[in-house]
Amino acid sequence: MMLPQLLHTEEKDKLRRLVDKATHVVLLCHQNADGDAIGSMAAATLLLRRLGKTVTAIAPNNFPDFLMWIPTASEMMLADRMMNRVDAALAEADLVLLLDFNTPSRMGDVLPEKLMACPAPRVMIDHHLNPDADCALTISHPEMCSTCEVLLRVMLDMGWTEGMTALEATALYTGMMTDTGAFTYASNRPEVYEAVSILLGLGIDKDRIYRNVFFTYTEGRMRLMGYLLYVKMEMLPHHAALITMTNEERKHFHVKNGATEGIVNLPLQMEGMRLSIFLREDTEQPGLIRVSTRSVDDFPCNELCAEFFNGGGHKNASGGSLRMTMAEAVGVVKTAVRKYEDKLKVNEIST
Ligand code: 5GP
Ligand code: MN
């Protein structure tokens, strides 16, 4: 199978004009960047440098250590620690790429205003529903597994894969792998594997990429996982599970903020599970509970998160937050699960 064109002729022409004209490109991703955010910024950084541009990649805040090995990740600017350098980069920018988010508020409190004050044209490349950022060009493909998949398709359409390096391919593969839980969800489209095949052809070592990302636990992280599963996991009706974690518990195991990624997926490994919810205290804002949800098949996490957790996301992976105590948040979860009972029960009928 050959991958079909993703972009229309007008989109390609527009993107080429914008990139041709640019000399200083700023890349932005969402707060609490994940593998897809960092992977797509890294690949875009290397690509644009190959095209002769000066590139500054900015993450709104710190991101997990297990992403730091990604090419160019260690030189990315963390906006909350060096806002004056962010201001300087935006002042010089003649093109801004928004990668892996659909609306400026996903960058946190400060960056949206700065972005809107920057006169450079904006291009969004993303795979979240409902793009809303007033861009010169919006390349939004929610059917794709990751922004990295969208970016690869853009690069193919634009002829930018000519001369593409294994480092660029490695960055793209990382985003595809992390946003699909190593190709265990959101990855049934044959095009996903076609894209992977292209990246393998460029010489990536996918087994090593997997280990770099997933086999990086500290002893504390491993023991925290055991504790959360043994002591803190609560089974809810109709194949749902809830795990809660306080900052005190996290600190007891010497686990850093951001290093609890993946915990939410674990309950789904039990047979017949439909939904997993993970509540954790925010590390910076007291009184804020972060919510992560994961589901299988057609259970709509994004609808659940929009209705109960001030958030959204993808059908099988969404998140949000609640401004209340942990006990109150657990109450909200129980109400939410009751309301979505019928959608959770589907599995009981079909098995
Ligand atoms: P995670 O559980 O890994 O933090 O987030 C999973 C997905 O849910 C993210 O990729 C993102 O699409 C979505 N998400 C997480 N937090 C929020 C939020 O506060 N608001 C919205 N709209 N989406 C979120
Ligand atoms: Mn993504």
**What pTM value is reported for the model?**
0.86
> So what's the pLDDT on residue 37?
98
Helix H or strand E encompassing 328: helix 326-339
Q: Which of 75-79, 139-143, 346-350 has the lowest mean pLDDT?
A: 346-350
- How far is the C-alpha of 274 from the C-alpha of 271, rounded, in Å? 9
Reported as a pLDDT band with limits 50, 70 and 90, residue 346 is confident
295 lines ligand 1 (CB under 6 A): no
Q: For residue 321, which atom of ligand 1 is closest to its CA?
A: 19
Residue with CA closest to ligand 1 atom 20: 311
Ligand 1 centroid, distance to 30 Cα (angstroms)? 10
- How far is the C-alpha of 242 from the C-alpha of 232, rounded, in Å? 8
pLDDT digits (tens, 9 = 90+) for 300-322: 999 999 999 999 998 999 999 99
pLDDT digits (tens, 9 = 90+) for 16-62: 999 999 999 999 999 999 999 999 999 999 999 999 999 999 999 99
Residue with CA closest to ligand 1 atom 13: 313
Ligand 2 centroid, distance to 12 Cα (angstroms)? 22
> So what's the pLDDT on residue 306?
98
Copy the structure tokens of residue 183.
Answer: 């190709």
Cα separations (Å) of 92 from 14, 74, 87, 137, 148?
Answer: 21, 22, 9, 20, 26
Closest by Cα among 179, 202, 166, 181 to 71:
166
Give the position of tokens 């962010």: 86
317 lines ligand 1 (CB under 6 A): yes
> So what's the pLDDT on residue 309?
98
Reported as a pLDDT band with limits 50, 70 and 90, residue 325 is very high
Copy the structure tokens of residue 81.
Answer: 């620690």
Cα separations (Å) of 240 from 217, 276, 291, 311, 329?
Answer: 26, 6, 15, 19, 16
319 lines ligand 1 (CB under 6 A): yes
Q: What is the largest CA-CA distance in the chain?
A: 59
Is the pLDDT at 1 greater than 70? The verdict is no
Q: What average pLDDT is seen over the chain?
A: 96
- How far is the C-alpha of 331 from the C-alpha of 333, rounded, in Å? 5
Reported as a pLDDT band with limits 50, 70 and 90, residue 347 is low
296 by Cβ neighbours in 10 Å (0-12 / 13-18 / 19+) ranks as middle
Residue with CA closest to ligand 1 atom 15: 319
The number of beta carbons lying within 10 Å of the beta carbon of residue 324 is 14
